[in-house]
Amino acid sequence: MLDRGVYQNDRAKADGHDSMRFTFPVRGISSWHPHFPRVYSLGTGPPILFASKGDFEGRLKTKTKSQEQKIHQLRTDFPMRFIVRNMLLGCAGAVVMLTSAYSQEPPLRCPSPKNEPVTGKYAGYTVRLAPVSERGYRCQAMVKTPVSKSPTGKTVARDWALSIDPLSGTDVNGDGKPELIVQGFSGGAHCCYAYHIIRLSPGLPLVLLIANQVPISFAKRKEGGIELRTGDGVFDYFLVSQDNAVIPQLFLRLDGDRLVDVSADHIAEYDKQIDEARSQLTPAELDKLKHSTYSQNMLRDQMPAVRKAMTVVLNYLYSGREEQAWQALDEMWPPADATRVKQLILERRSRGLLFQAKPKAAAAK
């Protein structure tokens, strides 16, 4: 599931170009607005999008006297030719790393630090993010084709904040042509992210527009292609308050203009969350939950137990093991209420991201 956070800054403060921060008490990490460095956690998996400096802090250990003596002996015995060789290799490696680091342009974001227009090139197309004074919007994205005579180009997106995904300019959907990924954020405490996938070809056709309550990360797969990792935000506030909501994670890829569900390829990640939730659900909590009546107090006194139970059920369901999901629901939920909750889960799921996706087997045909 996706650990959700608590919104701390209001939108008025954001007008002053301050960051909008979300705090994740479970894992102690933070997330920032799209045009600032940010980290989101999908359950127990690695963070996605942009990492903050604090995530890479380390500590140096002081050497003991015996360790210093060993190092001194190694330095004395080590042939000079190897020292010279390693120094040269080290210098060469440093040059390559610095060259690589400076050759990578920072991702475009709006509002920019100076609140000025920013531009970049992707597969020969010029992309410009600029402030805009329109009701409900602060930023707009414009794309200029290599042969365009327009000074600004075609407007392809408007939102409260915009950024360009680093994978833009590559083949995102497997059609052999480059695409542009424009990430939009609407502002507000609980909403919303929009991803415009635009083909970088004459006319700049929109391949797909993906909207979700939680962010999406785009990453290259080892076997080739691009994978999308996110959570099905439609489960926000489902049965419980937002800070206890279980947002099931999703793994998708683009096949042309369609999303393909490849979550079943990540069974191990789902099982890790299932095992963790089961280990934390005590027999006393399970017994109390099983013998409760939802209509009396909506299980307000059992939010942690409800969260753990829903974690098990939804992770089974979203990893393609529907039979095991309903079996787990019957084992954990009040019998008189299990059918109602099952119907609610299916209804929510039908309105989520999977509504746009097709199963992996169907996509292969």
Output the DSSP codes for 57-89: ---PPPPPHHHHHHHHHHHHHS-HHHHHHHHHH
Q: Report d(CA 221, CA 319) in Å as an integer.
A: 19
Tell me the torsion sign for CA atoms 172, 21, 277, 291: negative
Provide the pLDDT for residue 359. 62
Structure confidence at residue 5 (pLDDT): 36
pLDDT reported for residue 55: 28
CA 188 to chain centroid: 18
Task: Check residue 274 and give its pLDDT.
Answer: 97
Element (H, E) at 226: strand 226-231
pLDDT of residue 184: 95
Amino acid 105: pLDDT: 55
pLDDT digits (tens, 9 = 90+) for 172-212: 999 999 999 999 999 875 578 999 999 999 999 999 999 99
- Closest residue by Cα to residue 241 from 317, 299, 313: 299
Q: Report cis status (omega within 30 of 0) of the bond before 46.
A: no
Nearest to 205, CA basis, from 243, 245, 154: 154
Q: What is the pLDDT of residue 122?
A: 96
**pLDDT of 274-333, one tens digit each?**
999 999 999 999 999 998 887 776 678 888 999 999 999 999 999 999 999 999 999 999
Strand positions, DSSP E, 245-337:
249-255, 258-261
Please name the amino acid found at residue 206.
L
Spatial distance between the Cα atoms of 242 and 5, rounded to a whole number of angstroms: 8
Residue burial 230-264, b: 16+ Cβ < 10 Å; e: rest: bbbbbbbebbbeeeebbbbbbbbbbbeebbbbbbe
3-state secondary structure of 249: strand
Residue 258, SS3 per DSSP: strand
pLDDT of residue 360: 59
Which residue ranges in the chain fall short of pLDDT 50? 2-104, 362-365
**CA-wise closest residue to 308 among 286, 334, 323, 340:** 286
Instruction: Provide the 3-class DSSP secondary structure of residue 263.
Output: helix
- pLDDT of amino acid 341: 95
String of b and e for 20-46 (b: at least 16 CB within 10 Å)?
A: bbbebeeeebbbbbbbbebbbbbbeee
pLDDT value at residue 36: 31
Q: Which residues of 183-215 are buried (b: 16+ CB within 10 A; e: fewer)?
A: bbbebeeeebbbbbbbbbeeebeebbebebbbb
Residue 260, amino acid: V
